[in-house]
Amino acid sequence: MKASRFFIGTLKEAPADAEVVSHKLMVRAGMIRRVAGGIYSYLPVGLRSVRKVEAIVREEMNRAGALEVLMPAVQPAELWQESGRWTQYGPELLRFKDRKESDFVMGPTHEEVVTDIARNQIKSYRQLPVNFYQIQTKFRDEIRPRFGVMRGREFTMKDAYSFDKDQAGLEASYRKMFDAYVRIFTRIGLEFRAVTADSGAIGGNRSQEFHVIAATGEDDIAYCPNSDFAANVEAAEALPLIADRAAPSEPMKKTATPGKAKCEAVAEYLNIPLERTIKSIVLATDNEGAEPTIWLLMLRGDHELNEVKTGKLPGLANFRFATEQEIVEWFGTPPGYLGPIGTKKPVQVIADRTVAHMSDFVVGSNEVDYHTTGVNWGRDLPEPTVADIRNVRPGDPSPDGKGTLDICRGIEVGHVFQLGTKYSDAMGATFLDETGKPQSMMMGCYGIGITRILGAAIEQNYDERGIIWPEAIAPFEIVLCPMGYDRSDAVREAADKLYAQLVEAGVDVILDDRGERPGVMFADWELIGVPHRLVIGDRGLKDGKIEYQGRRDTEPTLVPTGEAAAFARARIQEGLEGGVAANRPVEV
């Protein structure tokens, strides 16, 4: 490509609404342009990277045996009513009526449509397994779209859906997708982790997320530096921090703690470690036609509630936080001094695993300005229901027993799920097995945020001058910057020759033939993030040299003119092959 025939729309200023670096840089580099909140157009520079991501994803999906289909963006409400998600899905689901007043949705995901295809097209076990995927526009009506393409409303996803005859088949299909994802993100050139995930609203059983590691990520990921363990903090198992419960050594005693409602204040006031205090969290679950059930969740003073794990406990699927009125009714006191002993009405007590191993601890007395110290399970109150209800923290033991956890931030770019029969049961997607009996198909689903990958890649790879693209998804692999293309015959001829050589070799090269000043050229291409650059100038040519500089290099390298094309190709190849595999271990 020659720059004079291309469209370069770089901007000096980032948009006022851009909060993160990838959003700022994508707009400034002329990759995207805002159309409405969370809705963008991809300009030529940006779309080149999108297409490269798509091509890698498509190649690896095909290699894994998945078959490409294309399902519609607009879906009839009937299918969502069949699966139950018409009512379950929140306002992120864009619902609308067509001119005949029929209900439709703009698809944020395609389980319903693909299950409808499967139940109609698949009759026999002989047609299984099959895995349908598509690369397609999705819409999710985010309440607060932000971070550019990372949390937009309209975006491109690859979504795949596998159908198997049994759990063993699903495991195999799932593994194939997992392996394909590892290849995809490795080829793209990103530092990433596969982490155990909560399966969230899509439902089902096992699931893992693929996160691009970046300080600006929205998700906290717990991982063990010594092992393969990695999990979204939402889902990471928290082990008890105390191995065995010590015998009681103090008497239980009500103590004045005037104005000390928080654990930190109580610990300081009583001059005890925070790890001796208990945080009481009151939840409620509603019962049709009866009063709600009130739950008291007990966490160590320095721990935080994990709402995702809590929501998976028996009876707590639809929990909410209790109202102040409910708290007063059940505990006889407003929040601040709550505890499990002497409630006014019965509450369901759940102790975190660590709390269950504590002794001589401090809880609220259910009376303003009072706490009770020296509390012990069994002696002062009944043994509790024990559950894992807290977030892991750095330094916690890894659940695999291979060391301690650390926490980093990640941007979710992929997700693999075992759905099981959730949708096939709801929508009657059955097949006849070897004995002629109808069985529900076992489903898996597998997503990759195509456009989000661009944002994530930038969050991981940029500097003060702009983007630094991994070679595999750069809009161009290399830029040729001739100094005085319009003035010097020697420069023009050398640049044109180099361009022809690189095109011939299949390199994705852009020749900046605009005749701009070097400062403008360099600034544009550094902002756009082209990873390799050759500068052709009269001075260098006189010495038989061309200047090569990698986007991360601090200094240029002088290369003999005749070797410049081969030199650049070798650098690009190194980037495509080596970078990630060499120094970024993949945790799986």
Q: How many CB atoms within 10 Å of residue 560?
A: 12
- Minimal distance, residue 118 CB to its own copies, in Å: 10
Which tokens in the block code for residue 548?
Answer: 């090569």
Of residues 154-193, which lie at the interface with its own copies (CB under 8 A)? 154
- Minimal distance, residue 332 CB to its own copies, in Å: 41
Give the nearer residue to its own copies in terms of CB position, either 136 or 348: 136
Which tokens in the block code for residue 302?
Answer: 């320095």
Residues in the chain: 588
Q: Which of 22, 75, 216, 549 binds its own copies (CB under 8 A)?
A: 75
Task: Residue 529: name the closest of 38, 24, 184, 187 by CA.
Answer: 24
Q: Given the DSSP bridges, would you call strands 154-164 and 442-449 parallel, antiparallel or unpaired?
A: antiparallel
- Minimal distance, residue 451 CB to its own copies, in Å: 9
The H or E element spanning position 119 is helix 111-121
Give the nearer residue to its own copies in terms of CB position, either 44 or 248: 44
Give the nearer residue to its own copies in terms of CB position, either 8 or 283: 8
- Minimal distance, residue 320 CB to its own copies, in Å: 22
Per rule CB under 8 A, is residue 76 in the interface with its own copies?
yes
Per rule CB under 8 A, is residue 139 in the interface with its own copies?
yes
Of residues 16-45, which lie at the interface with its own copies (CB under 8 A)? 30, 33, 35-36, 39-44
Q: How many CB atoms within 10 Å of residue 13?
A: 9
The CA distance from 96 to 540, in Å, is 63
Helix/strand/coil for 269: helix
Give the nearer residue to its own copies in terms of CB position, either 67 or 581: 67
Which tokens in the block code for residue 200?
Answer: 């969230």
Give the nearer residue to its own copies in terms of CB position, either 152 or 384: 152
Which tokens in the block code for residue 541?
Answer: 């040519």
- Minimal distance, residue 428 CB to its own copies, in Å: 16
Per rule CB under 8 A, is residue 99 in the interface with its own copies?
yes
- Minimal distance, residue 12 CB to its own copies, in Å: 13
DSSP for 317-359, please give it.
TT-EEPPHHHHHHHHSS-TTS--SSS-SS--EEEEEHHHHT--
- Minimal distance, residue 11 CB to its own copies, in Å: 9
- Minimal distance, residue 81 CB to its own copies, in Å: 13
Per rule CB under 8 A, is residue 243 in the interface with its own copies?
no
Per rule CB under 8 A, is residue 296 in the interface with its own copies?
no
Helix/strand/coil for 382: coil
Per rule CB under 8 A, is residue 9 in the interface with its own copies?
yes
Q: Given the DSSP bridges, would you call strands 478-482 and 219-223 parallel, antiparallel or unpaired?
A: unpaired
Q: Which of 5, 437, 539, 542 binds its own copies (CB under 8 A)?
A: 5
Helix/strand/coil for 181: helix
Contacts of 489 (CB under 8 A, 6+ apart): none
Pattern 535-564, binding to its own copies, x per CB under 8 A? Answer: ------------------------------
Q: Are 26 and 45 in contact (CB under 8 A)?
A: no
Q: Cα dihedral sign for 237, 242, 245, 250? A: negative
Task: Residue 364: name the closest of 459, 265, 261 by CA.
Answer: 261
- Minimal distance, residue 505 CB to its own copies, in Å: 19
Contacts of 267 (CB under 8 A, 6+ apart): 273, 274, 276, 277, 301, 362
The CA distance from 396 to 399, in Å, is 9
Backbone angles phi, psi at 536, to 5 degrees: -110, 115
Per rule CB under 8 A, is residue 65 in the interface with its own copies?
yes
Contacts of 44 (CB under 8 A, 6+ apart): 6, 7
Per rule CB under 8 A, is residue 106 in the interface with its own copies?
yes
Give the nearer residue to its own copies in terms of CB position, either 33 or 183: 33
The count of chain residues that interact with its own copies, using the rule CB under 8 A, is 54
Which tokens in the block code for residue 452?
Answer: 């989000």
Per rule CB under 8 A, is residue 14 in the interface with its own copies?
no
- Minimal distance, residue 92 CB to its own copies, in Å: 8
Per rule CB under 8 A, is residue 98 in the interface with its own copies?
yes
Per rule CB under 8 A, is residue 7 in the interface with its own copies?
yes
Per rule CB under 8 A, is residue 121 in the interface with its own copies?
yes
Binding segment for its own copies among 113-121, 215-223, 405-413, 552-560 (CB under 8 A)? 113-121
Q: Which residues bind its own copies (CB under 8 A)?
A: 5-7, 9, 30, 33, 35-36, 39-44, 47, 50-51, 65, 67-76, 79, 91-92, 94, 96-99, 102, 104, 106, 113, 116-117, 120-121, 127, 130, 132, 136-137, 139, 141, 143, 153-154
